[in-house]
Chain A
Amino acid sequence: MTLVLRADSIGKAFGGRSVLTAATLRAYAGQIAFLVGRNGCGKSTLLNIAVGALEAGDGIVTFKGRAYLRPTWHTLARQGLYYLPDRDLLSPSRTVRQHLSAVARQFGSGGADAAAQVCDVAPFLDRRCGDLSTGERRRVEVATAVARKPECLLADEPLRHIDPRDRTLIAKVLQYMASRGCAVVVTGQDVEDLFDLADSVVWCTDGTTYELGSPGTAASNWRFAATYLGAARAARLAAGFVPAAGERGTFRE
């Protein structure tokens, strides 16, 4: 596995309140890592630091073998990183087509049309992003990432406030990107969906991170189960038993 992004020993405090003390994030080519943790534990902060949108108090970020004490988002973006923040990536006054074309032209990737098809945004290419629903906007944001063809994608809560159909679509697109060699890191609280999607789970808690291994292994970690998942959900996940919406439960393969 090729290590694309590594954020090591990251520390960050806000106004004297320490959020991260020694957190580590690794993204491997072709793999999807699920960064999980309770609200306010520092997941988004860690992503923001890894991408250079926020300055770390301590730590170092390495992207494609080059170390950065103070990485900047635009510098890493030029090297092949793409970041989907949890909100407001798109300009409300610009159309979907303008966003996709801008990415394709900027990097000569020429994948705007294909990205529109993959993410099912072709029907509203000429609508302004400000006029789209939350789910449509999220699909467009993911489409811009597909058009970029990045080497590493960090997606902060890509499935939040999204209906089940769009969640499935976005999950498939993220898997498609990983299958093309992209290193993907996702966060979120949609544990069942993201456990299905991920190759590995990283637990962010108490200012640090723990690499728990595969989703199955993570679900059987007693401390993770006790303090994050809850015993019932942990048992369901570990057994591959996940209740579908509106049902008592269905077995997955």
Chain B
Amino acid sequence: MSSLRARLPERGMTIALLRRGALLWLLARMLVVAGGAALSGHVSLGIFAPTALALSLAVGAMGLLDARRRNEHRFLANLGVSPLTIVLLSIIPALVAELALRIAGLQ
């Protein structure tokens, strides 16, 4: 547990990364839905599970790029936080949201 704690950034940074992951997922999801609506002619929140997974991974990559854009990656490295941890923290909100949509029957 202490090992996991050492790999995560402190609470403020963790919350910031999770919040950004959620925002990135929302933007990516809106783009996917808008693209689907443009192609099919009707709006649907539903996407295939592999697409949802790919979307979540893309959000993780975008989260890492966003941290680099904000010049946070060096500071986070000094805090002992790896790039993989940044990716994972960005992915978590996307996975949770996709799961919530499926449970709610909106997929």
Query: B9-17, B28-36, B49-57, B95-103: which lies at the A interface?
Result: B9-17
A203: Cβ under 8 A from any B Cβ: no
Interface residues on A, range: 20 to 34
Q: Which residues of B contact A77 (CB under 8 A)?
A: 77-80
Given A88-B71, A91-B71, A91-B72, are A98 and B77 neighbors across the interface (CB < 8 Å)? no
Which chain B residue shows the least CB distance to A89?
B74
Bitwise, A138-160 to B at CB < 8 A (1) or not (0) is 00000010001000000000000
Interface majority SS (helix, strand, loop, mixed), chain A: helix
Bitwise, B1-25 to A at CB < 8 A (1) or not (0) is 0000011011111000000000000
Which A94-143 residues have a C-beta within 8 angstroms of B?
94, 98-99, 101-103, 105-107
Q: How many residues of B contact A (CB 8 A)?
A: 20
A98, B71: Cβ atoms under 8 Å?
no
A102, B80: Cβ atoms under 8 Å?
no
A101, B12: Cβ atoms under 8 Å?
yes
Interface majority SS (helix, strand, loop, mixed), chain B: helix
User: B75's contact among A53, A75, A89, A107, by CB below 8 Å, is which?
Assistant: A89
Bitwise, A68-97 to B at CB < 8 A (1) or not (0) is 000011110110001101001111111000
**Can you offer 6 A-B residue contacts whose CB atoms are under 8 A?**
A73-B78, A83-B74, A83-B77, A102-B9, A102-B12, A103-B79
6 pairs of A and B residues whose beta carbons are closest in the complex = A78-B80, A105-B10, A73-B77, A74-B82, A77-B80, A106-B10
Chain A residues with CB under 8 Å of chain B are 53, 72-75, 77-78, 82-83, 85, 88-94, 98-99, 101-103, 105-107, 144, 148
